[in-house]
Structure 1
Amino acid sequence: MTENGRRESEAIRAHVAQTSPALQAFFQAELARAKEVLAGGSDAPSALGVNAGARVAQHLERLAVADAPACSPGCSWCCRGRAVEVLAPEAIAIAEFLAEARSADELAHLRVQLAEASQRARTLDVEQRWREQTPCFFLNAETAECSIYPVRPLVCRLHNSVDRDQCQRASADATQNTPVPRHAAFEILYGLAQSAIIVACLEAGLDARSLEITSAVDIALREPDAGARWARGERVFEPAATPSEPTPAPHMAHRAAQPGLVPTERLVASTNNVARNARKRERRARRNGK
């Protein structure tokens, strides 16, 4: 691990240490899973983000809320005006998904479009992107739905709103900086899962930088064995790296107790208790010879 990687890992761990014991336990469990994968576990590294997203979704299914996210199919306001940043495993997963879902001709055409989009993405600053409400490359213009939804990155999963009309107003007049109320639990849990993957990658000596999505997927599709090379420690995604560094999301934890929400601490704690009780029953059965 590089000195910069060590400092970033320590900063994320210190940030997580300021959250509740239940959230810390959730982070540690996600970190252990990510490290197992990177150490040669049964899953491929490209599954890191997708599997973490699925586990968080299971937690959130148990969440009873009065003000659940208002997001729904065709609602794409948060898919415009922002630079989507992904981690290398997520870019690899998206590339694999696209390669499997398209014919050779379709994939060749997509690669041309991706290359053009990645070149343009490098010319846009944050203000211009927001002012022009530039859509994500993977937003389907006809349906206003995400074309890579099953493998969308964690940063997209944690973006949400509890007021769809407010999202539309914010997008309709980008000069007003209209605030959008977001669901804290989604930000906290997906953010913790993302932070766990970042720490696991850093401590394995792998590139854990934030990558611009179109450039990263373009590289993953174009470069031979990009995923395997990244897993060996090669910085194959260098051209897609963004100036900003990944930011852990646990700083949102203080919002989890807002009115109408089951506190996120209770959400993960109850799930941890279920898993812990199941392990106790298994040990008891083994002792009794069952």
Structure 2
Amino acid sequence: MIERGRGDSQAIRANVAQASPALQAFFQAELERAKEVLAGGAESPSALAESAAARVAQHLERLGVADAPACTRGCSFCCRGRAVEALAPEAIAIAAFLAEARSAGELARLRAQIAEASQRARSLDAERRWREQTPCFFLNTETGACSIYPVRPLVCRLHNSVDRDQCQRASEDMTQNTAVPRHGAYEILYGLAQSAIIVACQDAGLDARSLELTTAVAIALAEPEASARWARGEAIFEPAATQREPALASQAAPRAVQPGLVPPERLAESAHNAARNARKRERKARRSGQR
């Protein structure tokens, strides 16, 4: 069993304890669901992130979140210039998605392509990746569409923007100092769902480190027993492990992608801002109605 990362689990729980009661309850519910999935056996891990993402989407719909992200099909600024990270269950799910309905020959070619892309991904440093705006391997650069969209990692789902033009300006800023305004509700809830998976995996003695996406998927595609081996506690994804810890990663750029929990001060800030903005909209609506 893998014993690394116990500090991350403790840090996540400590941060969540400082969040609002509603967010604590949301995290606890996701944690219990993740533990139930892990208890289901070797075939279950691939459903961890996908089922969590579906619940978050339903939750956001029930909340009637206003000012939804400006992200649309073909808008791919956030899919370039950064190393995309994922958790092991996500890599397993993506590999299964890619292998589905492919012939043996097609699958062999795909494995070779991803293996080659994995070597390149690991050879690029962050500065060069940003300077060249290197696209994610799974991005269709002609259409701007994600080829694994239904099973994309949670970190991709929480990474959003409410201003497409600002995303473009940020992608052209080689200093990486252009901030991108995000929708707090999406960032917080998807971040908490991911953190719950991290804690559940670590509590079960499983590898919950952040993984370089292309390399992790290459491993899962090359090893038919990847899911079972990971569920047994084997460090099968070791070559894909990044230097950053999932719960404690620092922000390298303004509002940059984070592979773990949104810090508690940002949870409080986002909740406060959301409530304040809602009050502003109500006052504006009342004033409009009085005219």
Runs of at least 5 residues in structure 1 that lack an aligned partner in the other structure = 264-290
Matches within 5 A, 1:210-289: 210-247=210-247, 248-251=260-263, 252-254=266-268, 255-259=270-274
Structure 2 Cα separation of the partners of residues 104 and 262 of structure 1: 53
Structure 1 Cα separation of the partners of residues 45 and 111 of structure 2: 23
Structure 2 Cα separation of the partners of residues 187 and 231 of structure 1: 28
Report the TM-score when normalising by structure 1: 0.86
User: What CA RMSD, in Å, does the superposition of the two structures yield over aligned residues?
Assistant: 1.9
Structure 1 Cα separation of the partners of residues 102 and 43 of structure 2: 23
Q: Percent identity?
A: 76
Task: Classify the secondary structure of the residue corresponding to 2:139.
Answer: coil
Structure 2 Cα separation of the partners of residues 125 and 261 of structure 1: 39
Task: Classify the secondary structure of the residue corresponding to 2:137.
Answer: coil
Structure 2 Cα separation of the partners of residues 42 and 29 of structure 1: 22
Structure 2 Cα separation of the partners of residues 95 and 185 of structure 1: 29
Other-structure match for 1:127 = 127
Structure 2 Cα separation of the partners of residues 231 and 41 of structure 1: 8
Report the TM-score when normalising by structure 2: 0.85
The letter of the residue matching 1:103 is S
Question: Measured at CA, do residues 91 and 46 of structure 1 come closer, stay the same or move farther in structure 2, by a change above 3 Å?
Answer: same
Task: Classify the secondary structure of the residue corresponding to 2:40.
Answer: coil
Other-structure match for 2:12 = 12
Tell me if the contact between 1:170 and 1:176 (Cα under 8 Å) persists in the aligned partners: yes
Structure 2 Cα separation of the partners of residues 190 and 140 of structure 1: 24
Q: Deviations over 1:102-128 (max 9, x none)?
A: 332222111111111110111111122
The letter of the residue matching 1:173 is D
Structure 2 Cα separation of the partners of residues 168 and 126 of structure 1: 19
Tell me if the contact between 2:37 and 2:44 (Cα under 8 Å) persists in the aligned partners: yes
Runs of at least 5 residues in structure 2 that lack an aligned partner in the other structure = 248-259, 280-291
Question: Measured at CA, do residues 146 and 2 of structure 1 come closer, stay the same or move farther in structure 2, by a change above 3 Å?
Answer: closer
Q: Deviations over 1:4-45 (max 9, x none)?
A: 432221111001101001100000000000001111279711
Task: Classify the secondary structure of the residue corresponding to 1:249.
Answer: coil
* Paired positions, count: 263
Structure 1 Cα separation of the partners of residues 102 and 141 of structure 2: 18
Other-structure match for 2:144 = 144
Task: Classify the secondary structure of the residue corresponding to 1:215.
Answer: helix
Other-structure match for 2:47 = 47
